[in-house]
Amino acid sequence: MSDEAVKLSARNVWKLFGDGAETFLKNHPKPDSSKLNEAGLVGAVREASIDVRQGEIFVIMGLSGSGKSTLVRCLSRLIEPTAGEVLFEGMDLLQASERKMIDIRRHKMGMVFQHFALLPHLNVLRNVAFPLEVQGVNREKREKRAREVIDLVGLAGRESYFPRELSGGQQQRVGIARSLAVEPEIWFLDEPFSALDPLIRREMQDEFLRLQSVLKKTIVFITHDFDEAIRLADRIAIMKDGLIIQTATPEQLVLEPASEYVREFTRHIPRAKVLTAGSIAQPAADGTELAGEVPAGAGIEDIADRVESAGLPFAVVDANGDRIGVIDGRAIVDVLIGRER
């Protein structure tokens, strides 16, 4: 995850649905669920605050109806928040004119949704180039850029295909390419893979991670699937009933859940998928014979066979090469079977 500046922030964002929502919120700054119900209002997003850092994949997750999609639409002002601030590159988007917001969405924001929304009468090349056409970019330039991103997402050679001639995974790649055509500063993806079959979904996650390794975009990604979240995320915000319950790294969510709700979310996730060598490293006596070194950030799932079969412990080293402890086969087995140490 990047240590650079915050790219996007939400500060005390609310979205209430119902008559008189703004007036009610001014008179009741922090209403609970019972007060909202009494007023006939629905608290889709309540007092939400997040910071999305430059270059990170920030995942917002929760069950259906938790408010995650509404929050993302508030961040891009596709839905108008009832109250709060949304700061993008230091500017409060809620104070921007509609014309300014249209310009920002066209030039600085990329969006991919669960339903691909491709234009059926346009081929792949024209679908991908469409946002640039809306911007008024000339045909030669927009088609050149479209071909670049089509190649990037692995669809070179299919420029003349129509959406009906593509598989679901290929259609989603077109949607991703289209959102990248404008070279967005921030990329919003709302459950982009949930309509895909499991195998294709896994392939698209691989493709997504590959693209991020190349592009290093600032990404807000919505999912209800914790397996998907821990595979993709630098950090995760878990929502329930419009509230953000906890924001943390996948590892922190498993090791330090802030509530029983978060604990339940993470209970059945194999710990080896989430924990790293650094999180289970133990002090070692001087002179301990070692089989080698592993990075503190290495996932247990990735190093399990190597460590378990070595017969000797491994030194765990940080990014500077300094030893922070050791791990051995027993520690690996404890993680794999869920035994507390």
What is the model's pTM? 0.86
The pLDDT value given to residue 341 = 59
CA distances from 253 to 130, 188, 191, 248, 268 (A): 40, 23, 21, 6, 13
Domains and CATH numbers, the chain: 54-77+92-270 (3.40.50.300), 272-337 (3.10.580.10)
User: How confident is the model at residue 200, as a pLDDT?
Assistant: 82
DSSP 37-101: HHTT-EEEEEEEEEEEETT-EEEEE-STTSSHHHHHHHHTTSS--SEEEEEETTEEGGGS-HHHH
What contacts 178, CB < 8 A, 6 or more positions away?
A: 118, 127, 128, 130, 131, 149
Amino acid at 217: K
Q: Which residues of the chain have pLDDT under 50?
A: 1-3
